[in-house]
């Protein structure tokens, strides 16, 4: 059974959902301006990088994306809720600036861990054939 296609479909749904959330946040919830356009592109950059990594090749980037992308979307949903639905302070909108940075950090940490695990697996099982 080939599991790669359903996994890529799942990750594609997460990427499209995040794109829709950021488009709504930047162009409907806030008035469009140069700042919101820049915020939109900063927010979708980690997702765009993951989409390239996912559809370019399977293997450990696909496994890492299954962990990183839901974490990133969860972070974005929490930021949206804390900023627009139930803000608890007057500085709640600053979360919009830190969300892309945290998503980039999640991506980099996940990629580093995934790469290290793949190297350990290659070292531990030198004759293993990739699927």
Residue 89 in domain: yes
Q: What is the dihedral of CA 79, 80, 86, 89, to 10 degrees?
A: 50
99 or 131: which carries more pLDDT confidence?
99
Number of domains, the chain: 1
Give me the phi and psi of 89, to 5 degrees please: -150, 170
Domain that holds residue 13: 4-124
Task: Flag whether 129 is in a domain.
Answer: no
* 79-105 tens-digit pLDDT: 999 999 998 888 888 999 999 999 999
Q: Is there a domain that residue 77 lies in?
A: yes
CA 6 distance to own-chain centroid = 18
| 131 in a structural domain | no
Check if the beta carbon of residue 114 is closer than 8 Å to that of residue 61.
Answer: yes
């Amino acid at each position: 059974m080939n599991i790669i296609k359903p996994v890529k479909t799942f990750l594609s749904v997460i990427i499209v959902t995040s794109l829709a959330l950021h488009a709504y946040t930047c162009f409907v919830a806030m008035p469009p301006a140069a700042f919101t356009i820049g915020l939109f592109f900063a927010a979708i950059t980690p997702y765009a990088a993951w989409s390239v990594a996912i559809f370019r090749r399977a293997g450990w980037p696909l496994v890492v994306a299954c962990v990183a992308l839901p974490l990133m979307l969860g972070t974005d949903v929490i930021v949206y809720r804390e900023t627009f639905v139930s803000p608890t302070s007057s500085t709640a909108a600053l979360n919009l600036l830190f969300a892309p940075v945290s998503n980039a950090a999640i991506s980099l940490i996940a990629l580093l861990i995934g790469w290290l695990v793949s190297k350990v697996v290659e070292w531990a099982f030198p004759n293993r054939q990739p699927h």
